[in-house]
Amino acid sequence: MGNLKITKKIDAVSPVMIAGWPGMGSVALGVVDYLRRKLKAVKFAEIPVDKMLTLDAVLVENGIAKLQPPPKNTFYYDRQHNLIIFEGEAQLPGASGIAILNEVLGLAEEFRVKRIFTGAAFPLPIRHKEKSDVYGVANDARLRDIIVKSGVKLMEGGHISGLNGLTLGFAAERHIEAICLLATMPQYAISIPNPKASAAIVSTLARILNFDIDQAEMNEEIKDMDERMAAIEEKVKDVFIIENEEPESLPAEKKIPGYIMEKIEKLFHEAR
């Protein structure tokens, strides 16, 4: 499946790794993409993927259908902060996704990565204007102090789907410390990128790992998103009858009715 390919030699010594794949709100992908660009991280490795194992649709442009290229899985290195950043363009299902994850963890072992951070969305029935809070979960009890001391709330229960969550379990089997940071976002908007949630995780990582990063670009994206979402919320006020309560775990019992979700999806497509 993969066969890791090193394209540039780096002199990393016990670095920290930040990894991200697409998911709800593109939260984790937004984090790693922003960090590797703003920190000017340099590509040094990739995991090639056989496109025949990833195809599930064709791309249509101007009435012409064509096969899509395989998703990229790329490693970057920020020497100044001793950070390895992994960016996966797609979450492959089943064994294919696990194979990619094992390649990522194999590289982490090779460079003796001391800790891995991932990100994810924490969807709640909240309005877009509300602050994005960050929750944390670790694969080792000793890491909980790091989470709490950094001002992050502990996620008491629930589940984290996809490779951003599975990383913690598979890393534990290799005795690699790992933490997942989850940022709250509106439950109704999980199908579109949420820069506010990504920005909350970026700020938290900067605080934990002690680096500075310019978030002006993200702030502009948040402003644009807020304006579009405000217009949408105005049209679907019946969705937002929300209780003021502190989330303790993923609120699986609180679901927006399907007919309203369909209406919201249509409004989002019109707003793009």
Structure confidence at residue 52 (pLDDT): 64
pLDDT at res. 243? 42
CB atoms inside a 10 Å sphere around CB 50: 12
User: The pTM is what?
Assistant: 0.84
> How confident is the model over 144-201, as pLDDT tens digits?
988 998 889 999 888 999 999 999 999 999 999 999 999 999 988 888 899 999 999 9
Residue 191 pLDDT: 86
The per-residue pLDDT for range 53-80, each reduced to its tens digit, is 667 788 899 999 988 888 899 999 999 9
Q: What's the confidence (pLDDT) of residue 220?
A: 93
pLDDT, averaged across the chain:
87
Query: What average pLDDT score do residues 202-220 get?
Result: 94
Residues 81-124 pLDDT 10s: 999 999 999 998 888 899 999 999 999 999 999 999 999 999 99
The pLDDT, as a whole number, for residue 126 is: 85
* Number of Cβ within a 10 Å radius of residue 230: 12
Q: What is the mean pLDDT of residues 234-247?
A: 54
pLDDT at position 267: 60
Crossing angle for the helix pair 94-110 and 163-173, to the nearest 10 degrees: 50
The per-residue pLDDT for 234 is: 73
More confident residue, 272 or 56: 56
What pLDDT shows up at residue 2?
52
Please give the share of the chain, as a percent, with pLDDT higher than 70: 84
Checking if the pLDDT of 257 tops 70, the result is: no
